Amino acid sequence: MNHKFLTMAAISCMTFAALTSCGGKEEVANPFLTAYDTPYEIPPFEQIKPEHYIPALKAGIEQQNAAIDSILNNSETPTFENTILAYEESSEIITKVAMVFYALTESDSSDELIKVAEEFEPMLSQHSDEISMNPRLFERIKYLYDNVDSLGLNIAQQRAVKDYYKSFTRNGALLNDSAKAELKKINTELTTLYQQFNKNLLAATNAFQLVVDSADQLSGIPQSNIDVAAEEAKNAGLEGKWLFTLHAPSRLPLLQYADNRDLRQKMYEGYTSLASSGEYDNAPIINKILQARAKKAALLGFENYGSYMTDNVMAGSIANAEDLLMKIWTPAIARVKEEVAEMQAIVDEEGGNFKIAPWDYYYYAEKVRQKKYNLEESKVREYFPLDSVRKGIFTMAERLYGVTFTEMPDAPKYNPEVVVYDVKDLEGNHVAVFMTDYFPRASKRQGAWMSEFKGSYIDRDGKASRPIIYNVGNFSKPVGDTPSLLTLDEVETMFHEFGHGLHGMLSKAALRSQAGTNVDRDFVELPSQIHEHWALEPELLKVYAHHYKTGEVIPDEMVEKLIAAANHNQGFATTELVGAALLDLQYGKLNPTEDIDVVAFEKKVAEDLNMPAEVQFRYRSPYFKHIFGSDGYASGYYTYLWAEVLDSDGFELFKEKGVFDPETAKSFKENILEMGGSEDPMTLFVRFRGHQPQPEALLRGRGLIK
């Protein structure tokens, strides 16, 4: 804690949670307001209570306000150290409390945390606005920006000055007082709307139950998934039945394997109508978000919100993003027609009197896979128990980057399912803390992600502060004596999120604002997506893919089939992904002043794209959390495809040199993983790859061209 910005009386009072007022008879230490007495400063989760968050946030706001006052009252000419660096050092308490708060609201939420969020998030949003619109602070940053070429700054420092200047202008620093007040109001409104969207989505997800009361209806579904469904039913007071939910480990196996077409339709329609009606209907919230975003873009001088969001990333504009997506879209929908024809042939052969519908796609795609490649994923899963896949990602990291992972069984954790690791280099030096939290629960939102409890940086004395990184997933749960057996999609997801984790763990960027994943949004997916490629590399499969019962190494014949089938169903996978990205960009072009019909808008976008009737957007709008649960990926969902151009092209270098080639791995580590956002991302990529990224690499990688 940076005590010099607080009076000792304030420190004394704010070191306690507000169970009673300061000076009251019962005070409980607030763990956020003292140094963590834990290994590597891991948050002491067992000590943190819901009542600690608001007092700690208020203390952090007071600390940062005092620090900024000190910056503004410094009579010396603005320098990088007394302005940019001092600003980066000003939010220690806020960072500590916010990182824990947002981690737990996403992965281990509760009614108490949801209630806290109603006060916490608007308070933090308003504080951020006060800083970004502070004219005196902006004046100092502008001085540095105007003189950046004559200050003797290194590349990272120059980039930081330019980035801060742009960030402040994008957040209203150039507006007059009236416009600033309006922008603050809009930002607060958006914060509240994002809360409501996410609250509805979690509630709607947990409210859906598909109960099966006859074993005959379960034909085709793998026994491991049936066992999990039976356990879910028992926990819900429905013993003797089977309960399926919308969480991916429950939903996807049913869609992929259930012979009962009506059951598949119920699950599919349950998912695609999620948060679309009743008390959890997100359509009204989406409309309010769109209208607020349009006002914000207009205030800041942009044609629309999409233009605002693409202005400060690699793509630079909606048009550039769309141009890339359409190059992928055309061959993708052409492949869908081929895939549907193959599936329809099987339907006809079996005497089915129906046309392929969206709820048939997973099921018949699996039949085509078995027919073409003699590859049944339920058998493949037996070689991918979660602990073995974990060994795979750790082996990959050790061979590529020279880091090892040792479990810390006694380390603090926010949930008993979390596993904590001490990450060290080959000389035994501490590199990072890494946490995993892999199984679904009602308190966790859907999906998989990476974030941090503590970022990395180098302080003024040259001492490195190392990060605490975590991965969260919703993978297939163990049941009885059977361990968690991952689908191929889950295997790739684990490698993907671990790639994000490596970006955070291996960072050597000096500045907090540039460390780890603090990079352009359309560059951040490069480290995650490139590491997916190792999941099915034969050399690594032999190390980690072992049968969960016998310990047998995955057979060569199965590996050959996996490689042959790697691009199976890529028309569908690409179309639903690109379709969602294009839908997102169409929302970004809107400037609505009144409500739109969300369903009709989606339908119009699909029609304009000539989207195949058998494929739906990867996310329908009411549960498109990426773009409506926050502004993180708004008009930016395309970035997964943008980054895939980079990762596909980059991995072709590894294939050329050798997937574990030391020099190629060293170059990727030094130019991409360690650098964070300290240099222009295209400069870093070209330094690693040797040329500008080539879009054709993505199409080759997905098997859409040769």
CATH of the domain at 112: 1.10.1370.40
Q: Say which DSSP state 485 is in.
A: B
Q: Single out the residue in 594, 614, 637 at which a domain terminates.
A: 637
Active site residue 644: no
Confirm whether 220 is domain-assigned: yes
pLDDT at residue 27 in the model: 54
DSSP alpha helices (H): ranges in 108-176? 111-132, 135-146, 155-170
* Residues 519 and 647 grouped into a single domain: yes
- CA 344 – CA 112 distance, rounded (Å): 50
Same domain, 433 and 541: yes
**Boundary-marking domain end, from 618, 637, 656:** 637
Domain, as residue range, for 336: 279-375+571-637
Amino acid in position 462: G
Same domain assignment for residues 262 and 242: yes
Q: Is residue 179 part of a domain?
A: no
Indicate the number of domains in the chain.
4
Residue where the block lists tokens 């429905």 = 238
By three-state DSSP, how is residue 450 classified?
Answer: strand
Q: pLDDT tens digits, residue range 381-419?
A: 999 999 999 999 999 999 999 999 999 999 999 999 999
Given this model, what pLDDT does residue 705 score? 84
Q: DSSP letter string over 556-591?
A: HHHHHHHHHTTTTTHHHHHHHHHHHHHHHHHHHH--
With respect to residue 203, please indicate whether it lies within any of the assigned structural domains.
no
Out of 497, 525, 576, 679, pick the active-site residue.
497
Q: Are residues 342 and 391 in the same domain?
A: no
In a domain, 196, yes or no: no
For 288, phi and psi rounded to 5 degrees?
Answer: -65, -40
State which of 229, 248, 273 marks the end of a domain: 273
332 and 437 share one domain: no
Q: Are residues 682 and 576 in the same domain?
A: no
Shared domain check, 220 and 290: no
Residue numbers in the chain where pLDDT is lower than 70: 1-28
Based on the fold, state whether residues 66 and 162 are members of the same structural domain.
Answer: yes
613/344 Cα distance (integer angstroms): 14
Q: Is residue 429 part of a domain?
A: yes
Q: For residue 522, what pLDDT is reported?
A: 82
Same domain, 626 and 668: no
User: Is 193 contained in some domain?
Assistant: no
Task: Record the pTM.
Answer: 0.88
Question: Do both 84 and 108 map to the same domain?
Answer: yes
Q: Does residue 198 form part of some domain?
A: no
Residue 10 lies in a domain: yes
Same domain, 576 and 555: no
> Residue 360's domain is classified under what CATH number?
1.10.1370.10
Is residue 526 within 8 A of residue 672, CB to CB? The reply is yes
**One domain, residues 15 and 164:** yes
| Dist CA 225 CA 215 (whole Å) | 13
